[in-house]
Structure 1
Amino acid sequence: MHGHRQKHHKTAARDRVGFGGKVAYGLGGLAENTMHNAVNNLVMPIYNIGFGVSPVLLGIAASIFRLWDAMTDPVMGVISDRTRTRWGRRRPYIVLGAICAGVLFAIIWWCPRGMSEIAYFTWFLVSALLFYTAFTVFGVPYLGLGYELSPDYHERTRVMSFRTWFASIGGILMQWLFWMTQRPVFDDTIEGIRTVAIGVGVVLIITGIAPGLFLRERPIPAAEERNTRSRINLASIASVFKVKPFLYIFGALISTVTGMFMVGMLGFYIIVYYLFAGDLGAASFVVGVSGSTYHVCCLLSVPLISWTSSRIGKKGALLIFIGLAVVATLLKLVLYTPENPYLHLIVIGMMAPGLSAVWTLLAAMNADVTDVDELERGVRREGSFGAIFNWTMKLGFAVCFLIAGLILEATGFDEALGGDQAEHTLLAMRILFSLVPAAGLLISMVLIALYPINEEKAYEVRAKLEAIRGEQEAAT
């Protein structure tokens, strides 16, 4: 009985983050998710369908700025870890990055009319490169701040749950951005996106600066100050991969991202050209409903994910919810049907908890890994681990977008045909849209099952760290 009781530790009052603090951190999640996904959601409808830019060119552009984004994240992580200012090492970057990202998001969509395809490609590439640089300046310190808000195994899950919850609110808003551009008040899609983009930029600034303004950073252990004196180099960045538990998180994340997003854009084309035979107006409403359903289900599932994790641990909870997502993605072949286009919402409702669990629990598990890193190396590197976590997703996105454009063309899709796409094209889209994500999620489940840190291990590591810190403080 004694061993059974030890499996459920109670969070000490000193380790809790207040409700207001969690809300402030969560608001940053709304900005983070919007920065991460809004460009992805809008690029094909605006630059492919609206401006006529080839999906292959757009895939090349997306892969370039995603690769840049991925390369700058680890550097920003080390910079954030080693920064010392009167306002903290994370907060100044969070505020600066949010403001710049809000302005640059609007610029992406304000390209002049009547340009050539190459000119549109260049505008998109350059403006997006600047935008994603600002996203890095904001996003890496933001995630690092979340890792260090509490040292408690369960409180970390609660903090990340607020991040996921607010990210889902941002996700709901994003699903209606294209629909907003189609409102009769605008003369055309281009006028619509220009107005909508300014509104999105304002939201990014307001929600993005909240964590930087209203949260305080935890004191840095005295022994870690030597971390500021070492040089930033490739070895210092890559050393996070020497922490073995992190390798399982890395593999699970990249397999999930690759599986889900390599064919993710096909969902838009399946809805428009398979469910609605090219009727862009009708499809835009269903795209909004579909995305909103996904994020509402994410919102509703976050408390359940947190509760399940507190009962059976992060790893067990994650395996259950990802398993549900595997079943859901296989059902796409049956439930995406023109006869009843809203039937596919069943798939969305089943997949949402699984992916919500991935973003919530993998982040919380990564926070636990930072304790193992401190125990083994004597430094706190939340920024570096958060950076590599983001880098993993962004590298996956970069590869996915490059491949996605090629996959779309390989299916035989031709935007000039409108609703008259070939039957084999639509069938290929549907098969890929179902089976590729299922494969990625199954690989992720295997890696998560091998992840070695459970609740008991996490509290054991923390106890050792507190003992070492006590000895160090006594020595000084």
Structure 2
Amino acid sequence: MEGRVPTRTATFAGLGSVAYGIKDNGFSTFLLLFYNQVLGMDARLVSLALLIALVFDGLVDPLVGHASDRTRTRFGRRLPFLYLAPIPLGIAWVLLWSPTGAPSFATLLVSAIFVRGLVAACEVPSAALVAEISRDYDERTRLTRFRFVFAWGGGLLMLLLAYGVFLPNAMLAREGYRAFGIAGAILMAGCVLGSAVGLHRTIAGWPPQQASSGKGLLGSLGEIRESFSHPACLVVMAGIACAMTSQGITFALSNYLYLYVWRFTPTALQIYPVVLFGSVIGASLLAGPAQRRWGKAGAVAATAPLGMLFWVGPLLLRYFDLWAADGSTRALVAMFICTLLANMFMVTSSIALWSMVADVVEASEEQTGRRSEGTLSAGAFLASKCATGLGIFAAGLLLSYAQLQPNARPDAVPAVVIDKLSLAYAVCTALLAVATALIALRFPIDRAAHEARLALLDKLAQSDPDAGGLHP
């Protein structure tokens, strides 16, 4: 699609990411609590099952992405996945939150693997559409903005429904989680199917024939490796890995910080998701101007450290007794303002990073002769998921370093423990933000390079319609 992507198309392209947001929210916030405290499973077995499922997820993403790149139907390459996967995903999501019989490690593992695999079948092709719908440098960022708004919106909507409707006064009520699963399933399946139907007229049609290795699975793995090995792909995957490691640490420690450091009240916890969603809207508005001013790599380099400053600043001010009293109205209001700004800048940085993934498509095509939108999107998801797991692991190490004891009351935790946790978290966040910025600056594709490459590929296609890139 040339020129500006219609808002209707951008909206439906973003709508498909709701399922990913809901899945992330459920797995990160409630699943361990549900299977451990409600169903009575050993927390270590629950964590092990979720870790194995995460490893499976990371391995299956490139296969799904490559399969969608090679798919040829009259509906195009991505729509078959977006039509076939949502209903099974909805069923698997309901079963995950409504297990029959006594809960077991095997049941949880199989359910988690099915959910993650089906989400991959929806999300990887959906993310690949950013590069497929538009080749324009700025429009790809605009499409990514829509995807971020819907992904965060879906996750935060389920968080609000959980706290306000399904589990308002009974976090350990099994029936509440069953309703949570049903509502999430309806939203996930409905949004992905709605995205597919809304995009049908835009993207349906036989895709161009692409050369294949013809060597079965080994050939496919070779093509995946070749796509991932492009220098631009390696840079953006490394940037995403640093950013998502920081986010993994932050998400894993968030409840500890709210409880032991900032002393959030129940009302503050209900307001917090609204603040986060406001920050995502702010990021969506900021991403375009930031990119036009500095380019995508420059936008990451500018906003990642800014976001870090607003995360770390309150902790340092508190450490030096320059912050309002913990739990006071002044402290909570100031924390909400800092959170709004910090998350706005961090999400702006993430939008630019994920938009950079789309620009690698033509660089890879120039090298390999293949368009690999799905494979490259899967590579970004692989880096993201591995880094998130690393961040969660690092959060556990930080808690161990601070020596925060289990079941500790906030008013009974020594100040030295809180200070150690706060400062260690601040140092990790600062280092990862700086690393993200420095890695992004090594990204070899700016606006001029991207547009020159498009012109070169167009010229090659006109001179030899059967050519595929500049490779030998």
Q: Where does 1:79-98 land on structure 2 (aligned, <5 Å)?
A: 79-98=67-86
Q: Where does 1:289-304 land on structure 2 (aligned, <5 Å)?
A: 289-304=271-286
RMSD: 2.8
The percent identity for this pair of structures is 23
**C-alpha contact (below 8 Å) 2:37/2:172 kept by paired residues:** no
Deviations 1:274-320 (A, max 9, x none): 4449xxxx44x433422321221111221221122123321222222
3-state secondary structure, aligned to 1:227 = coil
Find the aligned partners of 2:32 and 2:108 in 1 and give their Cα distance: 12
Task: Determine the structure 1 residue equivalent to 2:360.
Answer: 369
**C-alpha contact (below 8 Å) 1:59/1:401 kept by paired residues:** no
**C-alpha contact (below 8 Å) 1:61/1:124 kept by paired residues:** yes
**C-alpha contact (below 8 Å) 1:318/1:358 kept by paired residues:** yes
Equivalent of 1:466, from 441, 452, 458? 458
Unaligned runs of 5+ in 2: none
CA gap 1:271/1:144 in 2 versus in 1, 3 angstroms: same
Equivalent of 2:66, from 74, 78, 82? 78
CA gap 1:137/1:385 in 2 versus in 1, 3 angstroms: same
CA offset at residue 358 of structure 1?
A: 3.0
Paired residue type of 1:68: F
Task: Determine the structure 2 residue equivalent to 1:202.
Answer: 186
CA offset at residue 472 of structure 1?
A: 1.8
3-state secondary structure, aligned to 2:277 = helix
Q: Say yes or no: does 1:18 pair with 2:18.
A: no
Q: Where does 1:388-427 land on structure 2 (aligned, <5 Å)?
A: 388-405=379-396, 407-408=398-399, 411-419=402-410, 422-423=413-414, 424-427=416-419
Find the aligned partners of 1:28 and 1:421 in 2 and give their Cα distance: 45
Deviations 1:190-227 (A, max 9, x none): 222221221111111111122322213277774x5223
CA gap 1:231/1:17 in 2 versus in 1, 3 angstroms: farther
CA offset at residue 355 of structure 1?
A: 2.4
Equivalent of 2:255, from 265, 268, 272? 268
CA offset at residue 413 of structure 1?
A: 4.5
CA gap 1:89/1:126 in 2 versus in 1, 3 angstroms: same
Find the aligned partners of 2:230 and 2:204 in 1 and give their Cα distance: 23
**C-alpha contact (below 8 Å) 2:18/2:153 kept by paired residues:** yes
Task: Determine the structure 2 residue equivalent to 1:227.
Answer: 212
Which piece of structure 1 moves more, 455-464 or 200-209? Answer: 200-209
Task: Determine the structure 2 residue equivalent to 1:447.
Answer: 439
Task: Determine the structure 2 residue equivalent to 1:308.
Answer: 290
Unaligned runs of 5+ in 1: 1-12
Deviations 1:416-452 (A, max 9, x none): 4455663254444333433222221110100011111
Find the aligned partners of 2:49 and 2:263 in 1 and give their Cα distance: 29
Task: Determine the structure 2 residue equivalent to 1:149.
Answer: 133
Find the aligned partners of 1:387 and 1:363 in 2 and give their Cα distance: 11
Q: Say yes or no: does 1:356 pair with 2:339.
A: no
Paired residue type of 2:234: L
**C-alpha contact (below 8 Å) 2:24/2:155 kept by paired residues:** no
**C-alpha contact (below 8 Å) 1:302/1:357 kept by paired residues:** yes
**C-alpha contact (below 8 Å) 1:249/1:451 kept by paired residues:** yes
Task: Determine the structure 2 residue equivalent to 1:217.
Answer: 203
CA offset at residue 260 of structure 1?
A: 2.2
Task: Determine the structure 2 residue equivalent to 1:9.
Answer: none
Find the aligned partners of 2:304 and 2:171 in 1 and give their Cα distance: 43
Paired residue type of 1:259: S
Find the aligned partners of 1:24 and 1:192 in 2 and give their Cα distance: 30
Deviations 1:378-403 (A, max 9, x none): 11000110110111111122333345
Find the aligned partners of 2:400 and 2:426 in 1 and give their Cα distance: 18
Task: Determine the structure 2 residue equivalent to 1:5.
Answer: none
Find the aligned partners of 1:109 and 1:380 in 2 and give their Cα distance: 38
**C-alpha contact (below 8 Å) 1:97/1:138 kept by paired residues:** yes
Find the aligned partners of 2:204 and 2:367 in 1 and give their Cα distance: 21
TM-score (norm 2): 0.87
CA gap 1:57/1:265 in 2 versus in 1, 3 angstroms: farther
Find the aligned partners of 1:261 and 1:89 in 2 and give their Cα distance: 32
Find the aligned partners of 1:171 and 1:135 in 2 and give their Cα distance: 14
Task: Determine the structure 2 residue equivalent to 1:37.
Answer: 25
Deviations 1:118-142 (A, max 9, x none): x455443332111101111111111
Find the aligned partners of 2:73 and 2:4 in 1 and give their Cα distance: 25
**C-alpha contact (below 8 Å) 1:64/1:398 kept by paired residues:** no
TM-score (norm 1): 0.86
Find the aligned partners of 2:25 and 2:117 in 1 and give their Cα distance: 15
Find the aligned partners of 1:90 and 1:228 in 2 and give their Cα distance: 21
Which piece of structure 1 moves more, 263-272 or 121-130? Answer: 121-130
Q: Where does 1:40-189 land on structure 2 (aligned, <5 Å)?
A: 40-50=28-38, 56-111=44-99, 119=103, 121-180=105-164, 181-184=166-169, 188-189=172-173
Find the aligned partners of 1:249 and 1:292 in 2 and give their Cα distance: 30
Q: Say yes or no: does 1:249 pair with 2:231.
A: no
